[in-house]
Structures are given as C-alpha cells and as structure tokens.
Amino acid sequence: MPRIDYAIYGLCERQGSEFWAEPLNAFSSFAFLYITIRLLVYFEGLQILRHRRLWDIKALLFLTPCIGMASFVFHTLPGPETELIDTTFIVAFILLYFWCALIRIAQVGAFQATICFIAYAGFTHIVVTQFPQALNDSIGYLTTMMALIVIAFYLNMKKRAAARDFLIAALIGVMSLFFRSVDRATCDMMPFGTHFLWHVLNATLIYILMKQLIRSVTRRSKRRERREKRRAARRQVDMGGGI
C-alpha cells in the first residue's frame, strides 16, 4: 500500500486520514499532561510560595498541558488550524520561559533581559525566514536550543546552582530536535517515525526547566525570609536596648 504524502507536516507515522493514524505521536502528547501533574504537586508542596502571586510561573504551568492537548489534537486531526494552535502554545511557552529564565534564574536587569530577548527573537525570525523548511521544518527550535546552551554556560560562569541542570536540559533539547528533524528521513526503516521521541524528550526538557525555575524562586524566597527574620531580630534587640 503506497504511503499517503503528508510531507507538508513532516510526519512519518501518518499514512491515512483516520483519527488514530498517528497512535505514537498522539499518545506521547500525554507526556506533557503527566509532567504538569508532577510539577503542580511539587509547586503546591512548597509552603513558602503559597502566598506569592508568581503569575509567570502559573502561566507556564497552564501552558504546559495546553501544549500536550494541542499536540494531541494536531496528531489526530492534522490541518492548518490545528497546526497553528499547536505551534502557538509552544511559541508562547518558549517566549515566556526565556524571559523568566533571564530575570529569575540568570538574574539580569530589565534592560539586559530586554536586549537579550530582542536579540533572540530577531535571530530566530531571520533563521526561520531564510531557512523555512530546514531540519524538517524544525529550524525555529534550533535557536531555542542554542539559547539554552548559552544560558547554561552563563550560569556556570556565575557559579549558579542551576547551571548543570540547564546544560542537561540543553543536551536533551538537542536530542529531541534531532529526532524531530529525522522523522521523515527514517520512514523506510521505521514506519512509525521518531516524532514521538520529540514529545517525550521535550516533556522531559520542560520538566527540568520548570523545576529549576521554581527552585530558583524558592531559593530567593528563602533568602528574603532569612533577611526579614534577621531584621526583625535586630529590631527586637534595639527595642530591648532602649528600655
């Protein structure tokens, strides 16, 4: 039976128009829902963060399952509309996380973060525009993996605790991009392709990155709490000395 050409989406597993034509791609999308549950349990267990707004982290925790659900819909009902929804959630997560990583983990100033953000977005736009179909339509994600590597080395230079985990996340990201890129090329050897590994590794990548973001906020909150306790203790001593 000849394969139906779904090359426009770069998907190897899909051979027909049936809802379950991509079982591995569809079910591997639930990896994002699984890590969301793990992250929510971890986040809710941190008493020190209970009364903080942290709208950005909560927005990222909202976007994570949206990525999984949009991916499931796209891999069961592929089309321009579902592809757009799938891509939109991914891009929204990447942009918001990149900004949070600069401010909360790298701890750069607002001006520096803005310059880095503009440079990243501009470089990504140029690369995607010049090479729109490179790496099996995955070229837009290459700059994100490059950004992770740069952040990992920056954190290592600053001797930050998150440096090692960021480097691990970057390596996992490179592997996930590789499997997404070679999906179509492996069709003859692997009829089910390798795109599902992109989902699994990407979910792992997001889990590591989100865990580091939450840990970074937790560490800063604990330092703030210790400073406040020291100030309160000093005030008590001063008040005692004045009696």
Quickly state the pLDDT bin for 241 (edges 50, 70, 90).
low
Q: What is the mean pLDDT of residues 117-128?
A: 92
pLDDT tens, 157-214?
A: 988 878 999 999 999 999 999 999 999 888 888 889 999 999 999 999 999 999 999 9
Percent of the chain with pLDDT over 70: 91
pLDDT tens, 63-114?
A: 999 999 999 999 999 988 999 999 999 999 999 999 999 999 988 888 999 9
Q: Which two tokens stand for residue 218?
A: 């937790």
Domain limits, the chain: 23-217
* Helix ranges (DSSP H) in 101-162: 110-130, 134-137, 139-157
CB atoms within 10 A of CB 50: 9
Q: What is the mean pLDDT of residues 137-143?
A: 90
For the chain, the average pLDDT equals: 88
Report the pLDDT value the prediction gives residue 1, as an integer from 0 to 100: 37
Interatomic CA distance for residues 89 and 206, integer angstroms: 13
pTM over 0.75: yes
Kindly compute the dihedral angle of the four CA atoms of residues 61, 125, 170, 34, in this order, to the nearest 10 degrees.
Answer: 30
Q: Which two tokens stand for residue 162?
A: 């998150």
